[in-house]
Structures are given as C-alpha cells and as structure tokens.
Amino acid sequence: MTTAAEFVAVSRRFGEFTAVDALSLAIREGELTTLLGPSGCGKTTSLRMLAGYLSPTAGTIEIGGKDVTRTPPEKRGLGMVFQSYALFPHLSVADNVGYGLKLRKVSRAERARRVGEALDLVGLGHLGDRRPTKLSGGQQQRVALARAIVIRPRLLLLDEPLSNLDARLRVQMRGEIRRIQAETGLTVVLVTHDQEEALEMSDRMVVMNAGRVMQEGPPDDLFPAPANRFVAEFLGYENFLHVPARGLVTVRPELLRVRGGDGGNGGNGADATGAADGAAVPATVTSLAYRGVELRVLLDAVDATGATVPLIASVRRDTVASEDLPALLPGGRVTVSAAPEHLVPLDA
C-alpha cells in the first residue's frame, strides 16, 4: 500500500497551548481516511498543516514521499473544502468551479470541458449558470466539492463538509462522496466529529483527543475493539464496569442479558446462564424505555470494585422469558450478565 502523505511527529503549539501533539500518521493512497474527534482536538489544525496553510512547530509533513513542510499550499497539489464552503458569490457556479483551472492557465475550451465533467460528477450539470447564493446548502456543498476535484488533486481534504446540511441530505452526501471517491480513485482526508459518518465512510479512521491519536484502523477493526474508554465512549459504548480478572471492560447494550432475581450467588460469580468467565452482576432496574421491538432497560449495577455503575441493556421484547418479566419494572432486582467473548477489555 502506497503512502500518499505522512505526518512525522508533527506538533503545533499556539503560545503555551499544544493543539497537535507529536502526530505521526500515514495517509494511504486511494483510501478515505477520517480524522474523528471532539471539538478542539486538533482536526482542523492537522488538516491545515497538511494543506500548507499553517506550519508545524515541530516535525515534518510529507506528500508523495517528499518533505513539503516548507512548501506553500498552491504547490502541494491538493484540493480542499473548508468548514465554510467559501464560494465566490459574484461568480457563476461554473466560474467558481473553473477558478482554479484559470489560475493554472488552462485553456478556455479545456476548462469548459473539465468544469462540465466535475459538475456532472456532483450532479449539478444543469446549474452552471446560477449564482451560488441562489443554491441550497447541499448544492453549495457540491459546488465546493466540484471546485476542489476539478484540479485533479493528489489529495482531497474535506473539513466537516457535511456539517451545514440537514440530517437527510447529510446521509445522502456520505454516499455521494464515497461514490465520487470510488469513481476518481482519489485519496481523501475527511475531518468529522460524527462517529456514524466516520464509521460509514472511512477506509481508515483515526480517533483523536487533545491533539493525539487515540486509535486508528479500519472501522471494522476499530469498532468492535476500542482501545480505551475515550474511544469506546466516542464510538457510542455506554456500559463501563470492572469485572474480576479482566479489569475495566465495556459491552454493548444488546449483548447484555437481564434475568430476574439476583442469581443467588451475590452476583460476582458465575450465573445460571454459564457466563463463568464473563460478568454477572446484581443490579436494580431504574427505568425502562420502549422502542418498538427493543426494550431499553436502565440499571444500577454493582461491579467487582463494589462501585455502583449505570448500565443500559437493550432487550428484544419478544425474547424475554416469562419468568424474567416480573423483574423488568423500576425497582426490580435482576442479574445482568454477558458472555466472555462480548467483554471488550479497555486500557485504564
């Protein structure tokens, strides 16, 4: 796998504050890599350093195997879509898209052809004469995308490109960006703080916190095996408890079993379902939420350290055994267990 770009121990400080802390990361050619993390974790700062709009205070940035740390943005051959689309309001859609080609002195005929192609690719072939101000948010987003890809960049950098769109359009555009990437073979780096977006779109995802990489990998590897509590919480895991011999673990709500009664063993040992090396803890139901076929059971459990921890179990209503039903009420005493293979150990 060829490396398209690389951060080598890159840091960026603003005064005393370190926004990006010794970031080392390889962006693979032809892949879509997402930088995922909470607000302020250094995503935009990293992307701006890759694009050349901001210099690192330490480390080097390589593109195509060459050190470009001191290369200005226009010489890096990248396309970028910013958090705000930054379209020119006084130019038509076609002229916005063709702007970069004009700067590069591409002939008028060639420009018209490539602008047409780029607009067709984003589904706006019919709107070239419009002003961007007369377009919807989603259409403006596509114009910004067309403008970035028309120059045939070596790397396409997208900073929260979907954050201004309504929920339905956002989901639709995820697929569109993936399709465009597949059709063009582009290498894409996408910044987002939406874990669902990252899981759905990425070949590789990089989870960041406080300027550092917490974990990286393909969504299929990362999602079932978050390395630590931060990554787990960010990916939507809600249950955290200490179990004997395993330490801190997490487990998905749909993989918890809830049985009536306290299991008759004080809760810390094996339960009747045979989760010998798993976890079986006593708990009290605090509330229930009905969600169609799914029943969300909120519980207060006592874990191996004796701490009371909130747990959420998602139970399929049609699979609840009749003897367990009476306990599934607020105040009901239950045993919560999980099979050992469903416990994900976390670094403390």
Ligand X SMILES: Nc1ncnc2c1ncn2[C@@H]1O[C@H](COP(=O)(O)OP(=O)(O)OP(=O)(O)O)[C@@H](O)[C@H]1O
Q: Which residues bind ligand X (CB under 6 A)?
A: 14, 19, 37, 39-45, 193
Phi, psi of 197 (to 5 degrees): -60, -45
CB of 159 to ligand X, least distance (A): 7
Nearer to Mg ion by Cβ, of 31 and 159: the residue is 159
Nearer to ligand X by Cβ, of 20 and 243: the residue is 20
- Residue 319 near which of ligand X, Mg ion, none (CB within 5-8 Å, type-dependent): none
Ranges of H-type helices in 160-277: 167-184, 195-201, 219-222, 229-234
Residues 102, 104, 110, 111: what is their CA dihedral angle, to the nearest 10 degrees? -30
Please state, as a whole number, how many other Cβ atoms lie within 10 Å of the Cβ of residue 345: 14
Nearer to ligand X by Cβ, of 42 and 98: the residue is 42
- Residue 40 near which of ligand X, Mg ion, none (CB within 5-8 Å, type-dependent): ligand X
- Residue 100 near which of Mg ion, ligand X, none (CB within 5-8 Å, type-dependent): none
Ranges of H-type helices in 164-309: 167-184, 195-201, 219-222, 229-234
- Residue 19 near which of Mg ion, ligand X, none (CB within 5-8 Å, type-dependent): ligand X
Ranges of H-type helices in the chain: 43-51, 93-103, 108-121, 137-149, 167-184, 195-201, 219-222, 229-234
CB of 53 to ligand X, least distance (A): 11
Nearer to Mg ion by Cβ, of 39 and 133: the residue is 39
Nearer to Mg ion by Cβ, of 44 and 202: the residue is 44
Contact set with Mg ion (CB under 5 A): 44
Cβ-proximal residues to 291 (8 Å cutoff; 6+ apart), any chain: none
CB of 47 to Mg ion, least distance (A): 8
